[in-house]
Structure 1
């Protein structure tokens, strides 16, 4: 259940920031040439692709929420970091789902750029999903590496990856 705490925090912060930007409705330059607040309404997916698929995105989000929750509930209690990561992903998915259901589109407002080249506008929910998913990938890669170099179950040692015979 501890993954629900970061999820709830993400949803609250995401929705509060979106409401603040929505009410003010203005664009702001925070750090010249690097960070702007730019209100964008996105009826599509990440980066504005697949515009107009509201029902599809709502259904896909609900399916993702169920799957993320099932995975998180099945994790052993000792897997605190993975639960945190899943909580970030869950919270981000819920935050954007709330927008789709209430507004028919997602409210994006964070714009980052450098030397005139800008990343697509995003929001707190997007950041949570991206950070949570990236950390899960890193943990999975690290875990895989640890298991490859760990002793085999029959007591024989497994050679480190760079000392093994090439696979055929």
Structure 2
């Protein structure tokens, strides 16, 4: 199941990014719910909120290191509760999808635009939900298994 989650998130993000790239020009914005939610094609040169712009090599190396660490620890990871295990998988899937963008062009394609928050993508959602799931597991579920 973890492999399925990884590939569904990865493929979904890459497909939507491909669709945005094929049908829109950078900077173009299409209102879905006017003044609330738009699809906006943004090429992000940095990390979350655009921090560390144009540091592609740093992000590529960090992504490669993350993949290596994940693969090394995966046998132990499967012993943790599902919230932690699948949270790590979601986090990795999002990181790999954004890494694909960085390797391809040095930029990450973002498109969800709620007008009150920086534009983001499906990979970013996977990363955030993965981290939330891991934190939840650490604070509440991992303690349950220790007792």
2:33 to 17, 31, 34: 31
1:25-61: per-residue Cα shift (whole Å, max 9, x none)?
Answer: 1421112222110110011111111111011110011
Pick 1 or 2: higher relative contact order, CA cutoff 8 A, min separation 6: 2
8 Å contact 1:111–1:119 — kept in the other structure?
yes
Listed as ranges, the gaps of 5+ residues in structure 1 are 151-168
Indicate the residue corresponding to 1:73 in structure 2. Answer: 75
1:57-136 map, 5 Å = 57-77=59-79, 79-113=81-115, 118-136=116-134
Post-superposition shift, 1:10? 0.9
1-structure distance, mates of 2:82, 2:71: 14
> Could you tell me the TM-score, scaled by structure 1's length?
0.78
Choose between structure 1 and 2: higher helix proportion.
Answer: 2
3-state secondary structure, aligned to 1:121: coil
Listed as ranges, the gaps of 5+ residues in structure 2 are none
1-structure distance, mates of 2:14, 2:142: 36
8 Å contact 1:5–1:87 — kept in the other structure?
no
2-structure distance, mates of 1:119, 1:109: 12
**Greater alpha carbon shift after TM alignment, 124-133 vs 19-28:** 19-28
**Greater alpha carbon shift after TM alignment, 15-24 vs 26-35:** 26-35
1:41 aligns with 2:43: yes
For the pair shown, the structure with the greater C-alpha radius of gyration is: 1
Post-superposition shift, 1:73? 2.5
> Could you tell me the TM-score, scaled by structure 2's length?
0.88
- Root-mean-square deviation (CA), in Å? 1.9
8 Å contact 2:81–2:141 — kept in the other structure?
no
Q: Could you say if the C-alpha distance between residues 138 and 79 of structure 1 is closer, same or farther in structure 2, counting changes exceeding 3 Å?
A: closer
8 Å contact 1:11–1:125 — kept in the other structure?
yes
Number of residue-to-residue matches in the alignment: 144
3-state secondary structure, aligned to 1:120: coil
